[in-house]
Amino acid sequence: MEGLEELCPTSIFADKLGGKWKLAIIYNLRNRSLRFGQLATLVEGISRKVLTEHLRQMEEDKLIIRTVYKEVPPKVEYELTKAGQDLMPLFQKIDTWVRAHYL
């Protein structure tokens, strides 16, 4: 992203994690690695095309790791990188906030 250093941290966060699905993808990868089909099932309502696009983008942004196993049929798993794992305290705060104000 050009001029990234000129943006505020909130703008960078929104660029990397904004949209309807990325936080849900990270949330579902929080404790384990998952295959594409598992993610497609867990992230309710996401299309396979959009999931593919988001996973590619998140891999490029170094939030997830894509591991391809040389098996027949091919096996691919996704897991959080250190940067993705570092978001977990934020998810805990969000959970606390939602429970306090909306549940």
Pick out the chain residues at pLDDT < 50.
none
Q: Give tens-digit pLDDT for 49-58.
A: 999 999 999 9
pLDDT of residue 4: 56
Q: Is the dihedral of CA 18, 23, 25, 26 positive or negative?
A: positive
pLDDT of residue 26: 97
What is the rounded distance in angstroms from the CA atom of residue 25 to the CA atom of residue 101?
23
Cα three-residue angle 16-89-56, rounded to 5 degrees:
30
Please give the sequence-ordered ranges of beta strands (E in DSSP) within the chain, or none if there are none: 34-35, 64-69, 75-80
pLDDT of residue 3: 57
Domain boundaries, the chain: 17-102
CATH of domain 17-102: 1.10.10.10
What's this model's pTM, rounded to 2 decimal places? 0.86
pLDDT of residue 43: 97
* Dihedrals phi, psi of 70, to nearest 5 degrees: -80, 85
Q: Beta-carbon neighbour count of residue 3 at 10 Å?
A: 6
